[in-house]
Amino acid sequence: MKLLSWNIQWGRGMDGRVDLSRILRTIHELGDFDVICLQEVAVNFPGLPGSKGEDQVAELSAGLSGYTAIYGIATDVPDGRGGRSLFGNVIFSRLPVGQVWRHLLPWPAESATPSMQRLLVEAVVTAEFGPLRVLTTHLEYYSQRQREVQIDAIRRLHSEACAMSQREFLQEEQGGTFEVFPRPQQALLCGDLNFPATAPERTQILAPFSDGIPNFHDAWSVLHPGTTHAPTVGIHPVDFVDRPECFDFVFITNGLVNHLKAHGIDSETDASDHQPVWVEFG
């Protein structure tokens, strides 16, 4: 299984142009991916710089034939013309997809800090080595407190999923809306987490769980122990970091560690203000 994660900034490159064909071309040039997780994907949001209100899920889907698109909407607001403007994260999978969840993450009020609703998209996919949960998110940028609360929520959801994986199905859960589909313990969490690799939030994600719940491991550190993370922002000049940093991560649970074969970051493309990251399992 090969997976890519990328904050595409609604297709807006470092030249200020929104160009989804450039995003698709970059993805195809980077490799043949089974799962593609994209953050900052917009539908009918002409207020975003450079956007003309494209249906970006539809445009990306058209360029990713054979993939199932799973769009999670974090922001859903009126467009002033009787329609809706949407913004969120999407998982594209050409692997079989089981149950899907779209979790709104906590959004605590902070009067002096800008912020927005955040979301975790979760989908069960079946890889050649077995089923796993793919989770992708885009955490708050401006507030460490909000990121910490959001990480707590993600960890609770992981614990809940692992507990659900251990229970036996009941007769009442056979068929219909109560039907229970597999929710495996093994998981991969990826996305733009909006903190550097030295931040306490990374330690928070990696903290051990109790009761036999599989821990998260930083995929970069699994393959490159003791090595500084390759940067995913600031390679090209941006206004939100002073130097190149890693903001985009892939975390995997215990059962995936021995399957991890490669972890790469494309430092060349300027099709977004973030760099694509990818992992490969075998």
Looking at residue 98, which CATH number applies to its domain?
Answer: 3.60.10.10
Residue at 134 is within a domain? yes
In the prediction, which pLDDT does 53 show? 98
Residue 256 contacts residue 186 (beta carbons within 8 Å): yes
In a domain, 115, yes or no: yes
pLDDT at 119 over 90: yes
Q: What is the pLDDT of residue 180?
A: 86
**Residue 169 above 90 pLDDT?**
no
In DSSP terms, 250 is beta-bridged to: 190
The domain total for the chain is 1
How would you classify the pairing of strands 260-265 and 248-253?
unpaired
- H helix or E strand, kind and range, residue 23: helix 20-30
Q: Which of 193, 256, 247 is nearest to 219 (CA)?
A: 256
What the block records as the tokens of 27 is 């993805």
Confidence of residue 134 (pLDDT cuts 50, 70, 90): very high
Question: What is the pLDDT confidence band of residue 168, given thresholds at 50, 70 and 90?
Answer: confident
Query: Is residue 77 in some structural domain?
Result: yes
Distance CA 90, CA 27 (A): 14
What pLDDT score does 173 carry?
A: 87
- Say what the pLDDT of residue 172 is: 87
The answer to whether the CB of 245 falls within 8 A of the CB of 234 is yes
- How many other C-beta atoms lie within 10 A of the C-beta of residue 34? 19
114 falls within a domain: yes
Q: Domain residues for 249? A: 2-167+179-281
CB-based contacts of 214-217 (< 8 A; 24+ apart in sequence):
214/162, 214/185, 214/186, 214/187, 214/253, 214/254, 214/255, 215/253, 215/254, 216/158, 216/187, 216/189, 216/251, 216/252, 216/253, 217/251, 217/252, 217/253, 217/254, 217/257
174 in a domain, yes or no? no
pLDDT digits (tens, 9 = 90+) for 261-279: 999 999 999 999 999 999 9
Does residue 57 belong to any structural domain of this protein?
A: yes
Which of 104-118, 160-174, 264-278 is predicted least confidently? 160-174
Predicted local confidence at residue 239, as pLDDT: 87
Residue 30 and residue 169: Cα distance in Å, rounded? 41
pLDDT at residue 231 is higher than 90: yes
Neighbours of 90 (CB within 10 A): 25
| pLDDT class of 82 with cuts at 50, 70, 90 | very high
**What pLDDT is stored for residue 171 in this prediction?**
84
Is residue 152 helix, strand or coil?
helix
Asked if residue 173 is part of any domain, the answer here is no
Q: 170-215: per-residue pLDDT in tens? A: 888 888 999 989 999 999 999 999 999 999 999 999 999 998 999 9
40 domain-assigned: yes
**pLDDT for 103:** 99
* Paired strand residues for 274: 233
Q: How much is the pTM?
A: 0.97
pLDDT band for 167, please (50, 70, 90 cuts).
confident
pLDDT mean over 88-98: 99
Pick from 275, 282, 194: which is nearest to 4 by CA? 275
- Pick the closest to residue 53 from 14, 86, 7, 24 (CA basis): 86
